[in-house]
Amino acid sequence: MISLSCVSVEYGDKIMPLDDVSHTFHTGTTAVTGPSGSGKSTLLRLVAGLQNPTAGTVEIDGEPVGRASWFSAGDPRVSVIYQDYRLVPFLTVAQNLSLAVEARGAKSSTDQIEAALARVGLPSSMADRLPGSMSSGEQQRVAIARALAVESPVLVADEPTGALDADNTARITDVLLELGQSDDLTVIVATHDLSVAERMDQRINLGAGLLVAAA
Ligand SMILES: Nc1ncnc2c1ncn2[C@@H]1O[C@H](COP(=O)(O)OP(=O)(O)OP(=O)(O)O)[C@@H](O)[C@H]1O
């Protein structure tokens, strides 16, 4: 359970995308929608511990999210998935996953990497491919597998289908839904795509600094 209590974020020039927002995210998938600039990415960064709120608190299971600093890669309980995948282009799929695991101070194994790939529907034969030789949808699956390999209970995905066609959007949405339903993960997805948002278990909408639960 992720709790935001009275959270505000103010940037310079009095830009205040989040103004005294409180919300609880439960296991399963939640879509965060709202117009461009409404604070969706800001909200995800707060949950991931990549940015501190100006006011208020963010907690995961009652423990504060790690304070963001130049020395921190964010809260280890949270993995971030980006629209542009952010895979290291000169490392194989397996090496990309190992790097993420080892950056968190753990040891990676072939079994663990193949299991993470299988959970997103990729065969182990893809482990030795370079990202550039894969389709956009496959690269996004690798990025999700990387997030799974580090075994974080929380996934935040910032426009994960923004660069994908309709078929791949549907497939990646299937993967995220499956992770929320069968793996008991808390998955928060910022999206402009209402076809993605509609399929999530819960939806919230941001606008004018406020957060409104959506149907
Ligand atoms: N580091 C920053 N410094 C100053 N202003 C910022 C910073 N980061 C975000 N903002 C501003 O805060 C507001 C919210 O930005 P954010 O990226 O969270 O919105 P968003 O809903 O994710 O937008 P989009 O859908 O276009 O990605 C915007 O007006 C943005 O310009």
ipTM: 0.96
Antiparallel, parallel or unpaired: β 186-190 and 154-158: parallel
**In Å, what is the CA distance from 49 to each residue of 59, 79, 80, 150?**
10, 10, 10, 16
> Which residues, listed in sequence order, are joined to residue 207 by a DSSP beta bridge?
210
Kindly list the structural domains of the chain, giving each domain's residue range(s) and its CATH number in brackets, ordered by start: 2-214 (3.40.50.300)
Minimum CA distance residue for ligand 1 atom 7 = 11
38 C-alpha to ligand 1 centroid (Å): 7
The pLDDT score that the predictor gives to residue 214 is: 62
76 C-alpha to ligand 1 centroid (Å): 24
| Residue ranges lining ligand 1, Cβ < 6 Å | 11-12, 15, 17, 34, 36-42
44 C-alpha to ligand 1 centroid (Å): 11
Tokens 């910032």 appear where?
158
Minimum CA distance residue for ligand 1 atom 30 = 37
pLDDT digits (tens, 9 = 90+) for 3-20: 999 999 999 878 889 999
**In Å, what is the CA distance from 205 to each residue of 22, 69, 155, 214?**
13, 28, 19, 6
* Nearest ligand 1 atom, CA 12: 4
Three-state DSSP at 20 gives strand
Question: Residue 175 in contact with residue 145, Cβ under 8 Å?
Answer: no
- Give the span between the Cα atoms of 201 and 113, in whole angstroms: 28
Note down pLDDT in tens along the chain; length 215 residues: 999 999 999 998 788 899 999 999 999 999 999 999 899 999 999 999 999 999 999 999 999 998 777 767 789 899 999 989 999 999 999 999 999 999 888 898 999 999 999 988 899 999 999 999 999 999 999 999 999 999 889 999 999 999 888 988 998 999 899 989 877 899 999 999 999 999 999 999 998 777 776 65
Q: How many CB atoms lie within 10 A of CB 139?
A: 23
